[in-house]
Amino acid sequence: MDSLGALPIFIQAAETRSFTAAGQQLGLSASAVGKAIARLEGRLGVRLFHRSTRTITLTQEGHLFLARCRRILGEVAAAEQELADTHATPSGRLRVSLPMVGMLLMPAVNAFIRTYPEIEPDLDFTDRLVDVIGEGFDVVLRTGDAADSRLMTRVVGTFHHRLVASPIYLERHGTPIEPADLVHHVCLRHRYPTTGKLEAWPLRQDRPAGAIEPPATVVASALEPLISMAEAGLGIVSLPDFVLHEHLRTGHLVPVLSDHTAHSGVFRLLWPSSPYLPPKLRVFIDFMTENLFPSK
């Protein structure tokens, strides 16, 4: 602990290049600063400063030690702040970017807002690849892999796409037995609003003649209208399972071609890398991890 107490003295002396100036800023005499540095050098067994009558300069070992000392004291400050924050109420503006399907995840967001009323969420809904740091987001929710080394990440849940239709539709039009049958059905397709591309259906492609492309009989840029149309008996739709639990439980929608679909994905939270997490961000990450995809 005595060595740790000498580190701020060493850093101040290195930055001011003067025992006298360092002492003035720390409320110590130049002699006390010099003795503290000498004791530190004695413990380390190396010379940290070149000394002259007018100035001091770091040795090569001193430069290496200075960089490490700054990191150590930064970690200590972060630890102290983190402990202090355990007694603080999470509050303030929290900028969150959610995918367009985020509307279907709003029950968890609503529960978070009720649980932490002092936090002020600023929610941005988009499917584009946002610059988390450059655009000033505190945290984003996205599917897929994390490729930015500047970001921390935590997986909050997995999901699967399933093909579903209403019993009314299947009674009227028949149930497809294999993917090739879809060309004779009304297919409700989702188009990504940011790219204009149709979202692929999770069909196993076992045909040697080529891939099956379901017809785009009806197209929508949001999932909610597709869910409504499917429930109304207007066609077959591909949807992530996290939006289907209640629809399947009530029988309003039923799976089709389950043996011919294969897809899995992950939702993950990403936020700027830092040794210190603000309380508002820490509780959001923990809450979403526990509540975004509750046990089915």
Instruction: State the DSSP string of 68-85.
Output: HHHHHHHHHHHHHHHHHH
Structural domain 5-84, CATH architecture: Orthogonal Bundle (1.10)
Under 8 Å between Cβ of 96 and 121: yes
Strand 218-220, strand 265-272: pairing: unpaired
- The DSSP 8-state label assigned to residue 89 in this structure reads P
Query: CATH number of 92-295: 3.50.50.60, 3.40.50.300, 3.40.190.290, 3.40.640.10?
Result: 3.40.190.290
CB-side neighbour CA atoms (13 Å) of 2: 8
Beta strands in the chain (DSSP E): 49-51, 56-58, 92-98, 119-125, 139-143, 151-159, 161-165, 187-190, 218-220, 236-240, 254-255, 265-272
Cβ burial of 210 (10 Å; 0-12, 13-18, 19+) is exposed
Is residue 119 within 8 Å of 92, Cβ to Cβ?
A: yes
Question: Which amino acid is it at 139?
Answer: V
Picking from 266, 16, 1, the residue whose alpha carbon sits closest to that of residue 159 is: 266
Residue 216 CA to residue 231 CA, distance in Å, equals 18
Beta partners for residue 93, in sequence order:
120
Q: What is the pLDDT along the chain (296 residues), one digit of tens a residue?
A: 456 788 999 999 999 999 999 999 999 999 999 999 999 999 999 999 999 878 899 999 999 999 999 988 888 877 777 776 666 678 899 999 988 776 677 888 999 999 999 999 999 988 777 888 888 899 999 876 766 678 888 988 888 889 999 999 999 999 999 999 999 999 999 998 878 889 989 888 665 545 778 999 999 988 889 999 999 999 999 998 888 888 999 999 999 999 988 877 888 999 998 877 888 999 999 999 998 876 54
Look at residues 162, 116, 149 and name the one whose alpha carbon lies nearest to residue 262: 162
So what's the pLDDT on residue 189? 96
Looking up tokens 């100035």, which residue turns up?
Answer: 55
| Segments making up each domain of the chain, as ranges | 5-84, 92-295
Same CATH fold, 92-295 and 5-84? no
Distance CA 262, CA 255 (A): 13
